[in-house]
Amino acid sequence: MSVVNTGNRQSGQYIRKLCRFADICRVQEKAMPQSHASFIQKVSTFGYHWADTRHPKSGKLIPAILEGRHIEMPTHGTSIEDHLAALDDLWQSIDPDAPSYTEYSSEDHPELYRRFANLPLVSEAVLEFVSTFGFLGVGHSITIIEDENPDGTKWGEYQTAEFANDWVRQIRMMQSSVNILDALDDILKPDTDALHKWFIYKESDWRVKAECLPGYKNQGKVEWVNLDCWTDDPNEFGSIPADDIIQVSTEFLRVLVTHQLEGRTSAMMIWDKNHTQTQLVHRPISLLGAMWVQFAGVLTRTNRFRSCAECGKVFELVRRDKAFCSEACQKRYGRKKAKRIQNT
């Protein structure tokens, strides 16, 4: 009888501990960021620098961003004492107690995708961006040191490098996507003239400006890319009428964002705000994925933030159709719009 009672007491303690653990998990889950746009990014405190780096696939020397400060070591032919002195100076400049990385949440910068789209294509601007917000997540592993042990086994030291051509490709793609979105999202009506700069109906097919798809493997030197060839699905664009510039623009952004989210987001189950049921969300796994999730949120109007159409200030949405941060900006925009219409 005593054995049974002891077992019951132990079982009761186990159940209470299990319930307590479940409560802790629920509290932790509630404390987690609930937005599918949430992404925690790490930024190196040692900085970043440009360096001509050999691409692991092409073998060509291409400018790339590497983590850490650029270190000028003595050239070959100098004495071992000079190398040791340079290494000693390097170690003296490093604070051993300083953290290697700082962190931030992408939710703290809801308009980061626009900042990225407006990034000038110059090395200084890109380096400033990566030093503030970290790597995009399009890096390649490169070999820094490779050697062989006395027993014949090989060893190496590797580092992540993000090459300039990948940055240029992603900036241009985001920039053209934002321009198309803004033309579709004009306050009074969609700016069809601006959209016709990006799309054309030619030879019974819809085509998009080649600069909207930088790096597209089949585009070559052409100015326009056939959208049916790009998607390999003629039903996506082939059925859109020749005069429906709004539909083709919207469909293009939908397909493009879908492509950009592939491999850059992961599916997961989270609790809703009331913690009564779970829901499936797609959370970004890289900074580039987080920015495309932000863009998708604006495209579907699920983003809680928006930039003012007049002054550019970021404000929190209270209505889905709200486009201005204040009534003054709305009136100012209306006067400018009316003036442009009179001049045309």
Give tens-digit pLDDT for 12-47: 554 444 444 344 333 333 333 445 558 999 999 989
Query: Does 278 have pLDDT greater than 80?
Result: yes
Reported confidence tier of residue 116, pLDDT bands at 50, 70, 90: very high
Together in a domain, 249 and 320: no
Least confident among 91-100, 168-177, 195-204, 284-293: 91-100
Both tokens of 76, joined, read 């070959």
Together in a domain, 224 and 324: no
C-alpha distance across the termini of the chain, in Å:
96
Query: How far apart, in whole angstroms, are the C-alpha atoms of residue 266 and residue 80?
Result: 49
Together in a domain, 146 and 47: yes
* Residue positions counted in the chain: 344
- The DSSP bridge partners found for residue 162 are 65
Together in a domain, 47 and 151: yes
State which of 135, 166, 197 marks the end of a domain.
166
Q: What whole-number percentage of the chain has pLDDT above 70?
A: 74
Asked whether residue 33 is assigned to any structural domain, the reply reads no
Residue 115's contacts (CB-CB under 8 Å, 6 or more residues apart) are 109, 129
Asked whether residue 93 is assigned to any structural domain, the reply reads yes
Query: Does 229 have pLDDT greater than 80?
Result: yes
What is the tally of structural domains in the chain? 3
What does the pLDDT read at residue 58?
Answer: 86
Asked whether residue 34 is assigned to any structural domain, the reply reads no
Together in a domain, 197 and 254: yes
Both tokens of 114, joined, read 């626009």
Together in a domain, 185 and 243: yes
Asked whether residue 217 is assigned to any structural domain, the reply reads yes
230-237, Cβ contacts within 8 angstroms, sequence gap of 24 or more: 231/255, 237/205, 237/206
The residue assigned the tokens 């050697």 is 147
Q: In this predicted model, what pLDDT tens digit does every residue of 284-308 receive, in sequence order? A: 999 999 999 999 988 887 555 666 7
* CA neighbor of 201 nearest in space, from 249, 257, 272: 249
Q: Residue 287 half-sphere exposure, CB side, CA atoms within 13 Å?
A: 27
State which of 139, 166, 193 marks the end of a domain.
166
Together in a domain, 174 and 138: no
Asked whether residue 17 is assigned to any structural domain, the reply reads no
Residue range 200-220: average pLDDT? 83
Judge contact between 136 and 162, C-beta under 8 A: yes
Query: Does 161 have pLDDT greater than 70?
Result: yes
Asked whether residue 230 is assigned to any structural domain, the reply reads yes
What's the pTM value of the predicted model, to 2 decimals? 0.72
Together in a domain, 121 and 245: no
Higher pLDDT, residue 69 or 38: 38
Together in a domain, 189 and 295: yes
What does the pLDDT read at residue 103?
Answer: 93
Mean pLDDT of the chain: 79
Domain with 280, as residue range(s), is 169-303
Asked whether residue 3 is assigned to any structural domain, the reply reads no
Asked whether residue 262 is assigned to any structural domain, the reply reads yes
* CA neighbor of 168 nearest in space, from 215, 132, 131, 201: 215
Together in a domain, 187 and 148: no
Query: How far apart, in whole angstroms, are the C-alpha atoms of residue 213 and residue 176?
Result: 9
The alpha carbon of residue 14 and the mean position of all alpha carbons in its chain are separated, in whole angstroms, by: 45
State which of 141, 166, 191 marks the end of a domain.
166
